[in-house]
Chains A and B, each alone.
Chain A
Amino acid sequence: MHETTVSRRDIFKLLAAASAAGAMLPKQLAAQAPRPLTRPFKNPLTDPDFLNPVAPWEKPLVDTELATLAVLCDLIIPGDADSPAPSKIGLPDFLNEWVGAPYDDNRADYEIIRGGLAWISTRSNSLHALPFIKLTEAQQTAILDSICHPANTAPELSYGSRFFQKLRLLTLGGYYSHSSTWKSLGYVGNIPIAGPYPGVPDEIIKLLGLGDVIDFR
């Protein structure tokens, strides 16, 4: 049987890896054994040119799949006045790059995403005799509602549920790692500050009752 939920441990691996990239928790990576690299010698990934970054692999998804992804991503995270719709910041194209990558995790995601896009197309056609992107938003939402919650999904729809959960995870990751969404999320860094580091605002010190530990001498 396939997994219907990402295990807690996997999530903390992801969290830890995200932190590690920030040197917050150095060397806390997923405990996968080092394996031979995707290319043995000269490799634009092991010695990258940051001015001209390249992802040296094929993007497998075709236009109809990308169009379906655009609709799905925009339903998962709708655009509003605070931050753009995923389709406006190239998320379908990013997901195409993601599922094309040669690494084990990405190969696993490829299977779920590509198979899931076909599954949702079949589901849409069997219910409404139309492709998913031609449905009304209410019809689209009804299909998502039937698969979005892993614990409440009918057994025969579990394939769709697994797809939705993976797509939501990748959409959240791809969307909020795009700098155009940071302000709406509450990340206000990546800018230089002159002088000493300002530290925690008084408002938060008061809110959390940290007045007695603020003094580090």
Chain B
Amino acid sequence: MALLTDRKSLREYDVIIVGSGAGGGMMAMQLSLNGMKVLMLEAGRNYEPVKETPMFNTPEQAPLRAKGTPDRPFGYYDATVDGGWQVPGEPYADKPGTQGEFWWWRARMLGGRTNHWGRISLRFGPYDFKPKDRDGLGFNWPINYEDLAPYYDKTEMMVGIYGSNEGMENTPDSSPGVLQPPPKPRVGELLAKKHCKTLNIPVIPIHRAVLSQPMDGPKLAAKLFPDNPVAQKIVAKDMSSRAACFWATDCTRGCSIRANFQSTTVLIPPALASGNLDIITDAMVREVMVDDSGKATGVHYMDKQTRADSVAKARVVIVCASTCETARILLNSKSKLFPNGLANSSGQVGRNLTDTVGSGLSGHIPAMENLPPYNEDGAGGSHVYSPWWNYKNQEKLGFARGYHIEMGGGRTMPGMGSLAILDITSPGIYGKKLKEEARRYYGATMGFAGRGEMIPNENCYCEIDPSRTDQWGIPILQFHWKWSDHEINQASHMQTTFAQIITEMGGTATPRSGIDALNKPGQIIHEAGTARMGSSATDSVVNSFGQSWDVKNLFLMDGSILPSNPDKNLTLTVMALAWRSSDYLMAEMKSGNI
């Protein structure tokens, strides 16, 4: 059992899971550890981070010094396989009349987009579940923070998150003993903290899915699976085989020692060890099939290796294909019973599409010039951040909702752009003096990036393109987009704030404003909302467990079900929701409701 290359050896399954990322990986682990027979379908190839990750490879070992290109937008060593904002043979389109072109990021590999991300794992806070109650905009969630808090605790213990409890507004603490200790800050991060004080902007340890110390497998597994000795044994063993971070190599490369979270380093290994999970890779799901009574019976997929139409069947179907791909599958699942696509009686599938509001500004910081060298690699990502600090004076700002600040800089591994600043600081210089200039300015830069909440609006959505298919014959998506003033004004606020911080730190920076300050829609890769959860079948697609209102044995579990897209990055919340949903699903199956 495990990865099925022989497509004929399928057995009867309780559950089919479409997608192997945060949502699919967590569902697969929970269900298979509890004895359910699970089949996972992944559109990309098998991927083994332990064998494939280029951990210490240096730029000169790669084409173009490993610089980002249209083929590999985040650089040659990024973990992503056959992905990016373009996937070979799998196009998408702008709907005529759209104001902004949407960029749709995908990865075609086991573990999906969890292999490439910043590992930033911030809990949504109490306000984030009831945003409409606070400002009248967007949608409330059908659950409260308290409903999800226990699952946040469990997910954080399972995954391994470093961070601290600071007791700050709408920035929840974890239960005692849940978090791993945060790594010490780097010099640029300390400088930012020092100067942000003057501006009343907090700088605190960030929460990231990286092990800062080894896991105590038996202890954690006993807490997490108290009534399940089999799960305890499997998970304890797997946790204890993960290594702590050794403070080198970027997390975006993946992690061969499994110190960071990827679905492929944390969720899929114990699921496979249970013997209850089969995985078919290179399986591009086209649609969910239904019988005459309107129940889901399985999925229809294209086998990418043979280009053959294929079918898999089970009692329950869980679609975790990512926000836009999930909407695409549902909208393409048309039948006599469901002429507008599956689970779409509300007409909300594909609507309410959001991405994170993003804007960044960097500046040269003279105080960081010529510092004595020390190793700043750290945890392969940020050690600190600034949570949103303006809840009390939100009304004066000209936009609803907030953002957090990610920051970084200093002496990261040198790449093609690391000395580009000399064009500004040191024109005309060459020879021995240029080497002195390089030593002086290398790493004397800090960058600040805002990650803010976008409010769903009626102009941002995806739908099926009426004329085009991808290379698998599956109709493609087209996107329509228009930012509202909330996002535009928020991005301007980010720019002004970052320029203030850089100035306080002794540098200079020129802020941008208006729409020029905004990243492109889709560029931050935090899509959400296309099949939102709600409290009624009339205006939402699923309930709080991701269960479709229209088709009881169809569940969705990825960013698509989020009714709002808080500034806090989605992955941790998707996993907590998946854990909660798996408990519900198993209870419903046991009681015969499904």
* A interface residues, tally (CB under 8 Å): 103
When distances are taken between beta carbons in the complex, the residues of chain A under 8 Å from B418 are 15, 18, 173, 176-177
Q: Is A127's beta carbon under 8 Å from chain B?
A: no
How far, in Å, is B430 (CB) from chain A's closest CB? Answer: 5
What 0/1 pattern do residues 168 to 179 of A give for CB contact below 8 A with B? 110011101111
How far, in whole Å, are A42 and B88 apart by their CA atoms in the complex? 8
Q: Is A66's beta carbon under 8 Å from chain B?
A: no
Q: A148 and B430: CB pair below 8 A?
A: yes
How far, in whole Å, are A94 and B203 apart by their CA atoms in the complex? 41
Q: Is B224's beta carbon under 8 Å from chain A?
A: no
What 0/1 pattern do residues 160 to 185 of A give for CB contact below 8 A with B? 00000100110011101111011011
Q: A18 and B427: CB pair below 8 A?
A: no
Q: B56 and A190: CB pair below 8 A?
A: yes
Q: Is B337's beta carbon under 8 Å from chain A?
A: no
When distances are taken between beta carbons in the complex, the residues of chain A under 8 Å from B60 are 89-90, 94, 177-179
Q: A172 and B422: CB pair below 8 A?
A: yes
Q: B428 and A41: CB pair below 8 A?
A: no
Give the contacting residue for A150; candidates B63, B185, B420, B428; CB below 8 A.
B428
A174/B413 contact (C-beta < 8 A), A190-B248, A193-B375 known: no
Q: Is B35's beta carbon under 8 Å from chain A?
A: no
How far, in Å, is B424 (CB) from chain A's closest CB? Answer: 6
Q: B88 and A187: CB pair below 8 A?
A: no
Q: Is B373's beta carbon under 8 Å from chain A?
A: yes
User: Which A residues from 40 to 61 make CB contacts under 8 A with B?
Assistant: 40-43, 45-48, 50, 53-55
What 0/1 pattern do residues 15 to 56 of A give for CB contact below 8 A with B? 111111111111111011111111111110111101001110
Q: B442 and A185: CB pair below 8 A?
A: yes
Give the contacting residue for A55; candidates B63, B358, B445; CB below 8 A.
B63
How far, in whole Å, are A80 and B434 apart by their CA atoms in the complex? 13
Q: Which of A113-121, A128-136, A205-213 touches B?
A: A205-213
Q: A169 and B420: CB pair below 8 A?
A: yes
A53/B184 contact (C-beta < 8 A), A46-B84, A190-B56 known: no
A199/B75 contact (C-beta < 8 A), A18-B418, A213-B194 known: no
User: Which B residues from 197 to 232 make CB contacts under 8 A with A?
Assistant: 197, 204-205, 212-213
Q: B72 and A46: CB pair below 8 A?
A: yes
How far, in Å, is B395 (CB) from chain A's closest CB? Answer: 30
When distances are taken between beta carbons in the complex, the residues of chain B under 8 Å from A14 are 416-417, 420
Q: B248 and A15: CB pair below 8 A?
A: no
Q: A23 and B252: CB pair below 8 A?
A: yes
Q: Is A191's beta carbon under 8 Å from chain B?
A: yes
Q: Is B66's beta carbon under 8 Å from chain A?
A: yes
When distances are taken between beta carbons in the complex, the residues of chain B under 8 Å from A200 are 184-187, 190, 374
Q: A21 and B74: CB pair below 8 A?
A: yes
How far, in whole Å, are A142 and B159 apart by their CA atoms in the complex? 61
Q: B430 and A168: CB pair below 8 A?
A: yes
Give the contacting residue for B84; candidates A20, A34, A185, A194; CB below 8 A.
A34
Q: A187 and B248: CB pair below 8 A?
A: no
Q: Which of B518-526, B529-537, B546-554, B585-593 touches A?
A: B518-526
When distances are taken between beta carbons in the complex, the residues of chain B under 8 Å from A203 are 372
Q: B435 and A77: CB pair below 8 A?
A: yes
Q: B247 and A192: CB pair below 8 A?
A: yes
A41/B89 contact (C-beta < 8 A), A23-B252, A210-B190 known: yes
User: A24-B381, A152-B428, A210-B194 known; 6 other A-B pairs, CB under 8 Å?
Assistant: A33-B103, A174-B416, A177-B65, A178-B59, A189-B375, A197-B378
Q: Please give me the 8 A-B residue pairs with the lowest Cβ-Cβ distance, nearest first.
A: A24-B408, A149-B428, A199-B184, A14-B417, A34-B85, A192-B246, A55-B63, A189-B377
